[in-house]
Structure 1
Amino acid sequence: MSSEAYVQEVMKFRRALNLTSISDARLFHDRFIRPSEALAEWIPDSGRMLDIGSGMGVPGIPLLIAKPGLVGVLVERRKKRAEFIRHVVRKLGLTAEVYDADINDLPCLNIDVCVARAVTDEGVLLQMCTPHANEGAIAVLPVPLSHAPVQVNGWEMVSEHSIAINGDQNDIQRIRCYRYS
């Protein structure tokens, strides 16, 4: 299974569901798929992975494609987008639960890995993950280069990485990994 089928579905429904303004599949792949796949290096091959604010399924869907042993838990408040994610999960044969709810309204989801896209406030995101995290869970988050690590009760930063997306030194992404105990 490749991410190309996912990109095709996004391109097919992008206007009707207001998923993205990007109409070029290659540009979409470069902007959304590659940065999502870049997170895979720090994510285990199995376990339950929570994608908070999944939107059109990024980074969750590309990570489930890259790591088929994961069980996805994709949370998106907007019902139409959650329905789109359900459609993609069925079409691609992925193992995932999709919730159209606010993460704060859900019971414990027993998560081993937490991810999100375009994290602007790590502290808030880690607090959202806390009620759902199993002991030893990790959070793998893309964060702005200028942001300092945060301290959230129960979470400890264990590593930080800067990577060039698409081999472009002008497109650097910082990845922070936190562990919950």
Structure 2
Amino acid sequence: MITNEDQAKHYASELCDAAAMDKLERLTAELVHENERQNLVARATLQTVWQRHIADSAQLLKWGGEGSAWLDLGSGAGFPGLVIAVMRPHLSVVLVESRKRRVEWLERMISELDLQNCRVEGARLESIETFPAGTISARAFAPLDRLLALSARFSTKDTFWVLPKGRSASQEVQDLPKNHGKMFHVEPSLTDQDAGIVIGRGQWSKNQ
């Protein structure tokens, strides 16, 4: 369990190189500054930004794929999408965000951090052209059943689902249609002892 900023920074450093760590430092500094202009994250979490946002995002790499594009839904402040893009420069990362000011923030960070592997789709998910996603992530995007319904068309039999769900993770999986089989399970978060991450593999169908 990661319980403080030093542990969180060490954890992140084990997953990427020094250049990526420099970019993460710049990202956290810009986040603090931008949060004065718009409420990207809860102000209280800025005191533990590495634990609550950087390491919390980085841990998802354990369950994501390394091949096709990583699709991050409702990217908001850029977690986990920007962190994934920084730590895996070889991986194409697509950030979906419909709120104009959030889109501007994400685009600025992509430019300033020179994330040539990352782009923003500044629109609602329903209007984005379908493409096969290797990994689908979402942090506080929508209840699990609605999230799956909205993003099903981006999934294939090889898609990894990596969905932080906080305390509701187990209940949301239990509430899925009974015939969903063993497609999803819950893993404990490394950064919050009360939180869970919904993990899955495969193509989701509305008929499941």
Superposition TM-score tier, normalisation by shorter sequence: 0.7 to 0.9
The alpha-carbon distance between structure 1 residues 65 and 153, as it changes in their structure 2 partners (threshold 3 A), is farther
The root-mean-square deviation of aligned C-alpha atoms, in Å, is 2.5
Given the two structures, how large is their TM-score scaled by the length of structure 2? 0.75
- Going by fraction, where is helix more abundant, 1 or 2? 2
Amino acid at match of 1:32: H
TM-aligned CA distance change 1:173 to 1:69, over 3 Å: farther
* CA distance in 2 between partners of 1:17 and 1:36 (Å): 21
The 1:17/1:144 distance shift into structure 2, 3 A limit, reads closer
Q: Deviations over 1:113-161 (max 9, x none)?
A: 1001136611111112111223411111112344141249989525431
1:121 and 2:143 aligned: yes
| Counterpart residue type for residue 144 of structure 2 | E
Q: Shift of residue 72 of structure 1? A: 0.9
Contact 2:57–2:80 under 8 Å retained in 1? yes
Which deviates the most, 61-70 or 47-56?
61-70
Aligned counterpart in structure 2 of residue 161 of structure 1, from 168, 182, 187 = 187
**Aligned match of 2:131:** 109
Query: Is 2:166 the counterpart of 1:140?
Result: no
Report the residue type matching 1:18 in the other structure: N
Judge conservation of contact 1:47–1:113 (CA < 8 Å) in 2: yes
Aligned-pair CA distance for 1:110: 2.3
Which moved further from structure 2: 102-111 or 116-125? 116-125
CA distance in 1, matches of 2:172, 2:46: 34
Query: What is the SS of the residue equivalent to 1:88?
Result: helix
User: For 1:46, which of 45, 52, 67 is the aligned residue?
Assistant: 67
Alignment pair present for 1:71 and 2:71: no
- Superposition pairs of residues 85-104 of structure 1, within 5 angstroms: 85-94=106-115, 95-104=117-126
State the AA in 1 paired with 2:188: S
Distance change in 2, residues 1:15/1:32 (3 Å): same
Deviation at 1:92, TM superposition (A): 1.2
Structure 1 unaligned residues grouped into runs of 5+: none
Between the aligned partners of 2:45 and 2:149, the Cα distance in structure 1 is 36
Structure 2 unaligned residues grouped into runs of 5+: 1-19, 204-208
Spell out, residue by residue over 1:24-74, the C-alpha distance to the aligned partner (whole angstroms, 9 max, x if none).
Answer: 754222221121111111112332011111111111111222222221110
Which structure features the higher share of strand residues? 1
Q: Which residue of 2 aligns with 1:177?
A: 199
Structure 2 CA distance for partners of 1:145 and 1:100, relative to 1, 3 Å: same
Deviation at 1:77, TM superposition (A): 0.7
3-state SS of paired residue (1:110): coil
Q: Which one has a bigger Cα radius of gyration?
A: 2
* AA of the residue aligned to 1:80: R
The structure-2 alpha-carbon separation of the partners of 1:160 and 1:98, relative to structure 1 and needing over 3 Å to count, comes to same
In percent, how many aligned pairs have the same letter?
25
